[in-house]
Amino acid sequence: MSGFQKEGFVGNGEAVTTHDPSSETQDRTRRSGGQGPIVAANTLTGGAAGGAAAAGSSKKLATILCCLCGRPIQPNGANMCGACLQDQVDVTEGIPKKGLTIIQCRRCLKWLTKNDHWSGFELESAPFLALVLKKIPGLAKQDLVDAKWIWTEPHSKRLKVRITVRKEVLNKVMLQQDATVEVQ
């Protein structure tokens, strides 16, 4: 080939060859159906000779390059690696991280729930977590996976909750992210 070639190794030891786009006409053997260069072609294992596969042999999946960082990945709907996808899309958008207020009576130490009803809860208990989660605006639109308390000083008036939400983004790709919500 007359084009510039560079061969490198990825973290898992696979060799990846990149080349100058001006030599694409000479590189037609590496293309499949006009879909671009194949980074790691489907290979057959299990003693298949000459490209013919024996019954029951396993296939190695093709890998593609992430469209942002160039890391080899298994193909997905977004064509991005997990790190780039989390950088590009914020699933926790619309959930306030600070400024959520829940009122507590200073005399009886009960918490204000809906309809001007006061209820007593132990700090960091499951029923109190349910009350806090109901008060977070924007959480009803999200798919809540997990919620748990983050320890704070016992005398502190601030409470922290770590929530994990999941959302479908970019061509049926599910993304799951954590967020910390501070309650006063």
Predicted local confidence at residue 124, as pLDDT:
87
Domain ranges for the chain, please list them.
5-62, 111-183
Phi, psi of 8 (to 5 degrees): -140, 175
Tens digits of residue pLDDT in 76-117: 888 888 888 888 888 888 899 898 888 988 899 899 988 789
Predicted local confidence at residue 13, as pLDDT:
41
Tens digits of residue pLDDT in 66-78: 999 999 999 888 8
Predicted local confidence at residue 184, as pLDDT:
84
Predicted local confidence at residue 180, as pLDDT:
93
Q: 103 exposed, middle or buried (CB, 10 Å; 0-12, 13-18, 19+)?
A: exposed
First to last CA, the chain: 66
Predicted local confidence at residue 58, as pLDDT:
65
Predicted local confidence at residue 57, as pLDDT:
54
Q: What is the dihedral of CA 82, 87, 93, 98, to 10 degrees?
A: 110
pLDDT along the chain (184 residues), means of 10: 41 40 38 36 36 54 89 88 87 88 90 88 91 89 92 86 90 87 90
Residue count of the chain, please give it.
Answer: 184
78 vs 75: CA distance, rounded Å: 8
Q: Which two tokens stand for residue 149?
A: 């308390």
